[in-house]
């Protein structure tokens, strides 16, 4: 594509998909039996097709379909115009609601979630057009490999009315260790994270200690999904000092996380607060980082955790309760 002519979008295909989700437990209950996603394909007049993916609840599919019609004829390199057209669509059809969306839902975040699959698909097309990987379009690759993190869950053996899955029940420390053993042995994970906020805090602390005994060299992380009080968070953080690599979202809100950070030496991490620029800016001048990790900071007690991206294995599974795209790679679809 060296003649400089625009690369026009001719059609957009949106394909909803559903895949099985085990009976994984979290702070608000249990995952539904199926997770919904949608595959976005953008087609061009040069025969190039780009791929993106996103949520697939009914409201989100309506937004995607509206954007698909809106961007036909757009130059595949016009990503800023894409943003403007998506904003017009959201202004017209609405930006709130959607059972498949997670995290803080605002009109701004909805625009981002709608833009994302289309922008990724356009970058895919751009890379194909110039014969370069998408990483080059984003400034160049900064690493050739990434570590993988196993994602452990308390879980039922099966959803109600269904047959038990191959992983079985995991409701105590021994079962959590067995789950981790299988993930490490079968998939080669080099770090381990437990989704907490399910059992009493002391049981989850004991599960982490059991994991440390079983895996003395693996970094361990714990995420209670912000259901603990500040007091409980401080007690747990102190009890697990030297055991956890970091504690993720133990308590809700910026102020709560800051209170924990003042009392707990270990790094904290979050994807539940400081998730928008208007939350970050007022605190930026007065919140120096205390973390030694370049990708986990703890200025106001909050951080962006450095968890794994999608695995290269075909069974990669994205946990829906993590908005920063923390990935685990063992749960069956």
Convert the pLDDT of each residue in 258-271 to its tens digit. 999 999 999 999 98
Per-residue pLDDT reduced to its tens digit, 33-67: 999 999 999 999 999 999 999 999 999 999 999 99
SS3 state of residue 297: coil
Task: Give the number of other CB atoms < 10 A from CB of residue 161.
Answer: 6
> Is residue 105 pLDDT above 90, yes or no?
no
Q: Which residue reads 């690369």 in tokens?
A: 7
Q: How confident is the model at residue 320 (pLDDT cuts 50, 70, 90)?
A: very low
Per-residue pLDDT reduced to its tens digit, 120-145: 999 999 999 999 999 999 999 999 99
What angle, rounded to 10 degrees, do the helices at 201-214 and 230-239 form? Answer: 20
CA distances from 162 to 157, 170, 179, 274, 331 (A): 9, 17, 20, 39, 17
Which of 17-31, 98-112, 177-191, 218-232 has the weakest average pLDDT?
A: 98-112
What local confidence, expressed as pLDDT, does residue 108 receive? Answer: 65
Task: Give the number of other CB atoms < 10 A from CB of residue 183.
Answer: 22
> Is residue 94 pLDDT above 90, yes or no?
no
Q: Which of 82, 114, 78 is nearest to 96 (CA)?
A: 114
Q: How confident is the model at residue 277 (pLDDT cuts 50, 70, 90)?
A: confident
Domains, the chain, ordered by start:
9-137 (3.30.390.10), 149-328 (3.20.20.120)
What local confidence, expressed as pLDDT, does residue 109 receive? Answer: 78
CA distances from 75 to 14, 102, 236, 299 (A): 19, 31, 53, 41
**How do 149-153 and 191-195 pair as beta strands?**
parallel
Gyration radius from the chain CA atoms? 21
- 271 vs 220 pLDDT, higher one: 220
What angle, rounded to 10 degrees, do the helices at 58-70 and 79-93 form? Answer: 130
Q: How confident is the model at residue 251 (pLDDT cuts 50, 70, 90)?
A: very high
Q: How confident is the model at residue 278 (pLDDT cuts 50, 70, 90)?
A: confident
Record the tokens describing residue 187, joined without a space. Answer: 């998939």
What local confidence, expressed as pLDDT, does residue 96 receive? Answer: 63
- List all residues 6 or more positions away from 75 whose beta carbon is below 8 Å from its beta carbon: 6, 7, 8, 9, 81
Reduced DSSP (H G I as helix, E B as strand, rest coil) percent helix, strand, coil of the chain, to 5: 35, 20, 45
Q: Mean pLDDT throughout 15-38?
A: 96
Strands lying side by side in the sheet with 34-44: 9-20, 34-44, 49-55
> Is residue 295 pLDDT above 50, yes or no?
no
Q: How far apart are the first and last CA of the chain?
A: 38
Write down the pTM of the prediction.
0.77
What local confidence, expressed as pLDDT, does residue 291 receive? Answer: 39
- State the Cα–Cα distance between residues 330 and 103, nearest whole angstrom: 23
- State the Cα–Cα distance between residues 30 and 86, nearest whole angstrom: 33
Give the side-chain half-sphere CA count within 13 A for 158. 7
Q: Mean pLDDT throughout 295-305?
A: 34
């Amino acid at each position: 594509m060296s003649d400089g002519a625009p690369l026009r979008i001719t059609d957009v295909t949106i394909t909803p998909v559903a895949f099985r989700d085990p009976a994984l437990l979290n702070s608000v209950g249990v995952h539904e039996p199926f997770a919904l996603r949608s595959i976005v394909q953008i087609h061009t007049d040069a025969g190039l097709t780009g791929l993106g993916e996103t949520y697939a609840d009914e409201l989100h599919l309506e937004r995607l379909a509206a954007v698909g019609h809106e961007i036909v004829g757009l130059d595949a390199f016009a990503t800023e115009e894409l943003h403007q057209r998506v904003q017009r669509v959201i202004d017209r059809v609405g930006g709130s609601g959607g059972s498949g969306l997670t995290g803080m839902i605002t009109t701004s975040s909805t625009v981002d979630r709608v833009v994302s699959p289309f922008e990724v698909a356009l970058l895919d097309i751009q890379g194909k057009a110039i014969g370069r990987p998408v990483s080059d379009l984003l400034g160049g690759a900064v690493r050739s490999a990434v570590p993988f993190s196993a994602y452990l869950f308390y879980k039922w053996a099966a959803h109600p009315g269904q047959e038990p899955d191959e992983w079985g029940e995991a409701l105590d420390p021994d079962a959590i260790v067995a789950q981790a053993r299988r993930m490490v042995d079968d998939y080669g994970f080099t770090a381990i994270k437990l989704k907490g906020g399910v059992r009493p805090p002391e049981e989850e602390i004991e599960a982490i200690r059991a994991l440390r005994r079983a895996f003395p060299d693996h970094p361990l992380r714990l995420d209670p999904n912000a259901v603990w009080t500040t007091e409980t968070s401080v007690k747990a953080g102190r009890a697990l000092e030297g055991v956890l690599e970091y504690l993720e979202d133990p308590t809700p809100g910026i102020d709560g996380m800051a209170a924990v950070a003042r009392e707990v030496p270990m790094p904290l991490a979050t994807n539940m607060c400081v998730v928008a620029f208007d939350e970050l800016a007022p605190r930026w001048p007065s919140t120096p980082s205390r973390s030694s990790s370049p990708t986990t900071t703890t200025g106001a007690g909050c951080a962006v955790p450095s968890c794994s991206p999608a695995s290269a294995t075909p069974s990669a599974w994205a946990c829906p309760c993590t908005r920063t795209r923390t990935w685990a790679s063992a749960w069956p679809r």
